[in-house]
Amino acid sequence: MTRIVHVNGQFLPEDQAVVSVFDRGFLMADGVYEVTSVLGGKLIDFAGHCARLARSLAELEMQNPHTDAEWLDLHRELVARNGVVDGMVYLQVTRGNPGDRDFAYPGADTRPTVVLFTQSKPGLAENPAARTGWRVISIPDLRWGRRDIKTVQLLYPSMAKMAARKAQVDDAWFVEDGAVTEGTSNNAYIVKGHRIITRHLSEDILHGITRAAVIRLAREAQMEVVERPFTIAEAKEADEAFVTSASAFVMPVVEVDGAMIGKGTPGPVVARLREIYLEEMRKSAI
Ligand code: PMP
């Protein structure tokens, strides 16, 4: 089946969907994105992703081309047209095509470019990696200073992912001023003595939608969550570690820079958080 994608109001077979060579997303990475998971044909934490999209656009002084209700319709229609049961909807908004290349933002007559596509991942929530956990390496955080805006400037995270691959591990954790900021495409946590520790929100990290839900659910389950920076040395001494993202959900981390974390296998706190998160998100999916 040919995948149907959405471009600027049209649903098209993927090989017929095009964006201009002058699009600022292409020339300047002048665009933002969101990834919403789909489980059982329904959208996970959609309201959170819509709210962050609006914030990213506002931070870049870009118009939001749709209302939340319109975004929801677009997501649902794309999921239905592609028969997605489990997977993701990728959404990108760029500052559009001003017809030439210029550093200055174009005027309001340049419409944003809107692209959405689905990625089908049957059994997404049953990812076998959750049973064994990820191994990570640390790498200096050389990204720009507004990581709270979800832009499509993903070259450094891609380089970090390749460094992880070369080291034959699953991911990399960024380190700045001696502390972990986040993973290449996820938020990072350690667990020490039943206390869950994760970096506080600032411009240094992406404000993960999964992070917000996991912290809320952990606190509701009477678990203690402390939002502060932690070091790689602390991670090596931790009982458990994990990452969160819309597509990996809650993923155990069992090794950092070659050192085993805890027993080197996914621990009970992370397993419980993953269970609670998936249960609650399936319940509230729309
Ligand atoms: N940090 C970074 C750098 C990311 O790219 C992502 C995933 N987009 C996250 C954290 C996790 O965010 P979310 O839970 O909203 O997917």
pLDDT digits (tens, 9 = 90+) for 174-208: 999 999 999 999 999 999 998 999 999 999 999 99
Contacts for 244 with CB less than 8 Å, ≥ 6 apart:
186, 187, 189, 208, 210, 211, 214, 250, 251, 277
| 148 in the same domain as 107 | no
SS3 43: strand
Last residue in a domain, options 121, 153, 172 = 121
Q: Residue 60 CA to chain centroid, in angstroms?
A: 19
What's residue 1's pLDDT? 76
Helices and strands: H and E segment counts in the chain: 8, 15
| 112 in the same domain as 62 | yes
Nearest CA to ligand 1 atom 5: 185
Q: Predicted confidence band at 29 (pLDDT cuts at 50, 70, 90)?
A: very high
> Which ligand 1 atom is the nearest neighbour of the CA of 209?
15
> Which ligand 1 atom is the nearest neighbour of the CA of 147?
3
Distance 25 CA to ligand 1 centre (A): 19
Q: How far apart are CA 254 and CA 238, in angstroms?
A: 10
CATH at residue 84: 3.30.470.10
CB atoms within 10 A of CB 94: 25
Distance 114 CA to ligand 1 centre (A): 20
CATH at residue 178: 3.20.10.10
Q: What is the mean pLDDT of residues 213-238?
A: 98
Q: How far apart are CA 266 and CA 263, in angstroms?
A: 8
Of the residues 42, 150, 236, 263, only one is catalytic, namely 150
224-227 vs 87-94, strand pairing mode:
unpaired
Last residue in a domain, options 103, 121, 139 = 121
Q: What are the pLDDT digits (tens) for 134-177?
A: 999 999 999 999 999 999 999 999 999 999 999 999 999 999 99
Distance 70 CA to ligand 1 centre (A): 23
| 136 in the same domain as 62 | no
Question: Ligand 1: residues whose CB is within 6 Å?
Answer: 35, 182, 185-187, 206, 208-211, 244-246
If one counts the domains in the chain, the total is 2
What's residue 122's pLDDT? 97
| 140 in the same domain as 112 | no
For the question of residue 283 being annotated catalytic, the response is: no
Strand partners, 233: none
Task: Supply the range of the domain harboring residue 230.
Answer: 129-284
